[in-house]
Amino acid sequence: MSSSYYEKLLANNKKWVEKMKKKDESYFENLAIGQTPPVLWIGCADSRVPANEITCTRPGELFVHRNIANMVVHTDMNMLSVLDYAVNHLKVKHVIVCGHYGCGGVKAAMENKSIGLINKWIRNIKEVYNNNSKELKRIKDDKKRFDRLVELNVKAQVFDLAKTSIVQKAWKDNTGLQIHGWVYKLDGIIKDLNVSMDSAADLGEIFTLDLD
């Protein structure tokens, strides 16, 4: 087998280990002790949006969950397990949903092509479109409408986080948990959508759970 891309990755890794050890001899020993990340990052699986790199954070700072179009789907055991662990065990102070303009998952949701299994995932974004169809239909420019759906989708996922018993219990216990919605632009800048929540006050009665 000729030298391949994956071999290059392993070689890069060795170089990285040497570089980190040169800076701090006990770097890996310290990391091995444990993690207390202050943030859970829920982002898109898109290769152009690497959570640590775009926020200049190092190993140990972000607990990360990524899926297509940074979704918070209330039946997704993977996402719920990550959220539960992050909030109740790691005691993160912030959960950030970070979407990005140009998101392929959101784009697919705006079209009518059937693309197999992923239809089921994408349908959650179609619901966001449908819930905001008045506003979106008024936007005549295709790109602007696409950008707006990216934002509305992030906003909806933040709201969906607030609907979970995990987040509501943290609020009830006054842990100081905050949830936020951001959008990354492919020029590198992150835009804060200012949809942060730190209590169930704006959640709406129907979604508020009676918790012990």
Integer Cα distance of 62 and 51 in angstroms:
8
Beta carbon of residue 20, minimum distance to Co ion (angstroms, whole number) = 30
Cβ proximity to Co ion, 44 vs 177, nearer residue: 44
Beta carbon of residue 182, minimum distance to Co ion (angstroms, whole number) = 13
Q: Where are the beta strands (DSSP E) in 73-177?
A: 94-100
Contact predicate 64/118, CB 8 Å: no
Integer Cα distance of 100 and 138 in angstroms:
22
| C-alpha closest to that of 39 among 97, 81, 101, 100 | 97
Beta carbon of residue 150, minimum distance to Co ion (angstroms, whole number) = 8
Cβ proximity to Co ion, 46 vs 151, nearer residue: 46
Residue 18: burial class (beta carbons within 10 Å; 0-12, 13-18, 19+): exposed
Question: Which segment (6-14, 72-80, 101-109, 117-125) binds Co ion by CB under 5 A?
Answer: 101-109
CA-based Rg of the chain, rounded to a whole angstrom?
19
Under rule CB under 5 A, which residues in 33-62 are in contact with Co ion?
44, 46
Question: Which segment (59-67, 96-104, 141-149, 184-192) binds Co ion by CB under 5 A?
Answer: 96-104
Q: Where are the beta strands (DSSP E) in 10-142?
A: 39-44, 62-67, 94-100
State the catalytic residue, choosing from 65, 94, 98, 100: 100
Q: For residue 48, indicate whether it is catalytic.
A: yes
103 interacts with Co ion by CB under 5 A: yes
State the catalytic residue, choosing from 103, 147, 160, 180: 103
Q: Which residues bind Co ion (CB under 5 A)?
A: 44, 46, 103
Catalytic residues: 44, 46, 48, 100, 103
